[in-house]
């Protein structure tokens, strides 16, 4: 089995990004000139999809939504405050994660995870969060139609 690496383009040079024990690594967002990034990686020994945050060269931390029987977590964005958003899925087998199961959005803020489901949706994904906490994403309604959304935090949160 080969190895798939993510990359960032910095000052005209492609830099390989590979999480230890990963056989695939996807980079979804890099900031601070490529030092901080989030993404997902299929990792040994379980070959499940784990999220990660990289806080500097070689400093990877796994980000898995808690309570999952089989890991299927995919961070998509990190803001300057360190809030991470993305998606996760409840699955029974590793292969189910790669079959595009119904997803739930998540927010990881100060070490606490919150699930995010658009009201009435069958699937929700969160793709971005700004420094004020406003999130954007996608949800599917009960007819299977996809819609974008913007979620603005309540005052004082």
* pLDDT score of 2: 59
Q: Which of 56, 54, 58, 59 is nearest to 84 (CA)?
A: 54
Instruction: Spell out, as residue ranges, where the chain has pLDDT lower than 50.
Output: none
12, 19 contact by CB (below 8 A)? no
* pLDDT score of 33: 63
Mean pLDDT of the residues in the chain = 89
**DSSP assignment, residue 154?**
P
> What 3-state DSSP class applies to 113?
strand
* pLDDT score of 145: 96
* pLDDT score of 124: 97
What residue ranges do the domains of the chain occupy?
Answer: 6-151
* pLDDT score of 154: 84
**Which residues, in sequence order, are CB contacts of 111 under 8 Å at separation 6+?**
none
Q: How many Cα atoms are found within 13 Å in the side-chain-facing hemisphere of 152?
A: 1
**Which residues, in sequence order, are CB contacts of 124 under 8 Å at separation 6+?**
87, 103, 104, 105, 116, 117, 118, 137, 138, 139, 140
* pLDDT score of 17: 83
* pLDDT score of 139: 97
């Amino acid at each position: 089995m080969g190895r798939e690496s993510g990359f960032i383009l910095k000052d005209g040079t492609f830099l390989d990004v590979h999480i230890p024990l990963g056989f695939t690594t996807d980079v979804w967002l890099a900031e601070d000139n490529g030092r901080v990034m989030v993404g997902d990686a299929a990792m040994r020994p379980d070959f499940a999809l784990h999220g990660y945050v990289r806080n500097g060269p070689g400093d990877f931390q796994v980000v898995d939504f808690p309570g999952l029987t089989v890991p299927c977590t995919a961070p998509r964005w990190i803001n300057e405050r360190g809030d991470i958003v993305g998606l996760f899925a409840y699955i029974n087998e590793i292969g189910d994660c790669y079959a595009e199961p119904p997803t739930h959005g998540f927010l990881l803020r100060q070490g606490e995870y919150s699930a995010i489901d658009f009201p009435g949706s069958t699937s929700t994904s969160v793709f971005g969060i700004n420094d004020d906490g406003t999130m954007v994403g996608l949800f599917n309604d009960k007819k299977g139609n996809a819609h974008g959304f913007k979620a603005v935090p309540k005052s004082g949160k």
